Each structure stands twice: as C-alpha cells, then as structure tokens.
C-alpha cells in the first residue's frame, strides 16, 4: 500500500468517525471466515458499518478527531475491526449477542462514544446499558409532561369541588 492509498484510508476512516460519532474497536482474530461474514451480516442488519484497517492508520485517523483521544490507543494492538454506529450502544449489544454461549470473540478492545472513551472488554456491560440519545430525549419529555398532566387532571377532577367551595363562600359572604 503506497502513501496515497494510506492517506485515502485515513481520510475515509475520519469521515466515518465524524459521520457516526461513535465507533468501537473489536478483536475478531482467530475467527473463521464464516464467523466474520456472519458478524458482517449482523452488523448490516443492525445498521452498523464494519471496517478493518491497520492499527497505525486507525491511530492517525483518531488523532484527527477533536479533543484528546490518546486513551484509546492502548486498544490498538493485534487485529482490529472498527464498528461504526449512530446509536452508541448498538455495537455493544451486537457484540454481547454474538458472544452468547461459549464464544469469547468478538472481543471489545475499546469504544469512542460522543467523545467518551471506554477501553477494555470489561466495559461491555456498561456500554450495553447506555441509553441512546432518542431514549434519553423520550425520558426527558415524559418527565416534563408528567407534572403538567397531574395539574390538568387535578383541575379537571377538582373543578367541581372548587366551584362548590366558591359557591359556598358566596352564599356566606
């Protein structure tokens, strides 16, 4: 691979990193071609894009991101597959589902989610439990609507009581 081809790969990776905002680094070494193809198919079905590149090129692409991302460089050892997703926890859920049973791979090496960095396979459960942006927005909207609904229902059900109190006060005074 010549210098121009390497530069093209780095630029393509940076575009993906910026487009998706989230990416995972996974270890698929030692898996058969059939299993890797199965992972690619599952990725496609889940809206996750999978790319394989050399660690040095991935490191250069990450260096181009805003902020200090050097923590994730520790994950760039051995064979690395990048999983890009718009939803921060989707690749974690996919990796978890692929490892049901006795499977040890794919293994999570690291993740970059909205500028937060997670390194190591022990972070997988934490990443699975992360809520997506849409889930958080839904929860916030639900919390904001709840007090308003309570006030409206109290006014509707208590409207007759308030009218009765006002009528009683008018009769007395």
CA–CA gap between residue 81 and residue 26 (Å, rounded)? 5
Computed over every residue of the chain, the mean pLDDT equals 86
* Percent of the chain whose pLDDT exceeds 90: 54
Please name the helix (run of DSSP H) or strand (run of DSSP E) that holds residue 108, with its range, or none: strand 107-113
CA distance 137 to 140: 5
Closest CA to 118 of 106, 131, 130, 133: 130
Tokens of 82: 């990048």
| Tokens representing residue 3 in the block | 């210098």
Residue bearing the bigger pLDDT, 169 or 82:
82
DSSP code, position 82 = E
Give yes or no for residue 40 having a pLDDT over 90. Answer: yes
- Dist. CA 78–CA 52, nearest whole Å: 12
Confidence of residue 130 (pLDDT cuts 50, 70, 90): confident
- C-alpha span between 88 and 20 (Å, rounded): 9
Q: Could you tell me which residues come within 8 angstroms of residue 51 by beta carbon, excluding any fewer than 6 positions away? A: 13, 16, 81, 82, 84
């Amino acid at each position: 691979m010549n210098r121009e081809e390497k530069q093209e790969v780095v630029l393509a990776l940076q575009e993906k990193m910026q487009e998706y905002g989230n990416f995972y680094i996974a270890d698929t070494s030692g898996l058969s071609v059939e299993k890797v193809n199965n992972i690619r198919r599952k990725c496609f079905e889940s809206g996750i894009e999978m790319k394989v590149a050399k660690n040095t090129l991935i490191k250069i692409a990450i260096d181009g991101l805003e902020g200090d991302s050097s923590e994730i460089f520790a994950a760039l050892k051995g064979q690395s597959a990048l999983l890009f997703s718009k939803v921060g926890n989707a690749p974690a859920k996919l990796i978890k589902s692929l490892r049901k049973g006795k499977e040890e791979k794919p293994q999570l090496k690291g993740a970059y989610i909205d500028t937060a960095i997670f390194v190591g396979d022990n972070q997988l459960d934490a990443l699975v439990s992360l809520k997506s942006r849409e889930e958080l927005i839904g929860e916030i909207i639900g919390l904001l609507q709840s007090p308003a609904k309570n006030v409206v229902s109290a006014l509707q059900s208590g409207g007759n009581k308030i009218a009765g109190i006002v009528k009683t006060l008018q009769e007395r005074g």
